[in-house]
Amino acid sequence: MLFTWLLLSGFIVLLIPQEMTGKLHFAFARIFRLPLSMGRNVTLSAHTRYNPQSKTDRQQAQLQNHIANLTEQIQEKNRQIEMLSGLKTRFTWEGVKFQLADVITISVSGMQSTMIINRGSDDGIRSGQYVLGDNSVIGVISEVSARNSGVKLITDPDSKIEVNIEGVRINRVMQGNGNNSARIQHITTDHKIGIDSAVYAKKQPDRIDAAVIIGTVARCMVNKENPSVWEINIQPVCDMEMLKNVAVIIMDP
């Protein structure tokens, strides 16, 4: 009898909309923020001890991401100048607010890759906004409460972000693999894709003001099922597990 009642309540909980039940998850993160942060710091320090990547290397990676973003912005501006010669346009990121947030927890596994940050709707965060880490796009806001938000990382199997590859002027959807990587499909083999080519999150008027680096091409193979298209594996340019804070892009605050 007890089992039946609990099972029934389980199905009721399952059918309650995610927006309501998600508050429980945020409440847990908020109440136990201190021990969770301590646990994360222990993990970070342990990873740093065994990880040969030093602080200097990380700063170098940040600068490389910044250079890649600026290069893409210059190219975009050049294209605009060619097309709209004489017409005024505003500077990139002008009027855009970057909301800095601390990472409370990060869960990166094969089945899901998510992050909880300590900023929510009270700070102007909305679902669908892009999140930056180390000058690169790392995910999209998926759940929002008053003071916390959930970020679906680019490597999450449910994550789908419109991107373009350096040198290939076509937009495609990048989907997370779960395996700390992502993939792009449906690019025909007549396009030349170079290994280590930069992959940019596509500029979108309501979400992101300029193309921002998201990853690099780690592997490019012909699709086994459809030999006319590439199977492209993308490696994020940011070590998301090492992030302590991120920036959320708020367009037209």
Partner 1 sequence: MKWLRFAAYTVTIMLLQASALEMISVTSMNIKPDLIFISVVFFSIYCSSKEAIVTSFALGLAADIVVGSTMGPYFISFGVIGTLLANTQRIISLRKIPYQAAAIFIGLFSAYTLAFILRIVQASRDSSNLLSVMFTTALYSIVIGPFLFPVIAWICGINIRRASRKLF
Query: Which residues are at the interface with partner 1 (CB under 8 A)?
Result: 2-3, 6-7, 10-11, 13-16, 18, 21-22, 24-25, 28, 32, 35-40, 42-43, 46-47, 105-112, 114, 116, 150, 157-158, 175-181, 241
Element (H, E) at 35: helix 33-50
Six token digits for residue 128: 């669908």
Q: Which is nearer to partner 1, 71 or 179 (CB)?
A: 179
Six token digits for residue 157: 């199997």
- Closest approach of Cβ 238 to partner 1, in Å? 15
- Closest approach of Cβ 25 to partner 1, in Å? 4
- Closest approach of Cβ 15 to partner 1, in Å? 8
- Closest approach of Cβ 5 to partner 1, in Å? 10
What whole-number distance in Å separates Cα of residue 218 and Cα of residue 182? Answer: 10
- Which positions ≥6 away from 46 have C-beta within 8 Å? none
Q: Which is nearer to partner 1, 111 or 221 (CB)?
A: 111
Under DSSP, is residue 156 helix (H, G, I), strand (E, B) or coil?
coil
- Closest approach of Cβ 128 to partner 1, in Å? 16
Q: Which is nearer to partner 1, 44 or 96 (CB)?
A: 44
What whole-number distance in Å separates Cα of residue 185 and Cα of residue 231? Answer: 5
Element (H, E) at 36: helix 33-50
Q: Which is nearer to partner 1, 125 or 211 (CB)?
A: 125
Q: Which is nearer to partner 1, 115 or 137 (CB)?
A: 115
Residue keyed to tokens 């890759």? 113
Q: Which is nearer to partner 1, 117 or 212 (CB)?
A: 117
Residue keyed to tokens 């947030």? 101
- Closest approach of Cβ 44 to partner 1, in Å? 9
- Assess contact for 161 and 214: CB atoms under 8 A: yes
What whole-number distance in Å separates Cα of residue 75 and Cα of residue 166? Answer: 11
Element (H, E) at 10: helix 2-15
Residue keyed to tokens 């290939």? 168
**Residues 159, 138, 169, CA angle at the centre, nearest 5°?**
75
- Closest approach of Cβ 65 to partner 1, in Å? 21
Q: Which is nearer to partner 1, 123 or 143 (CB)?
A: 143
Number of residues in the chain: 253
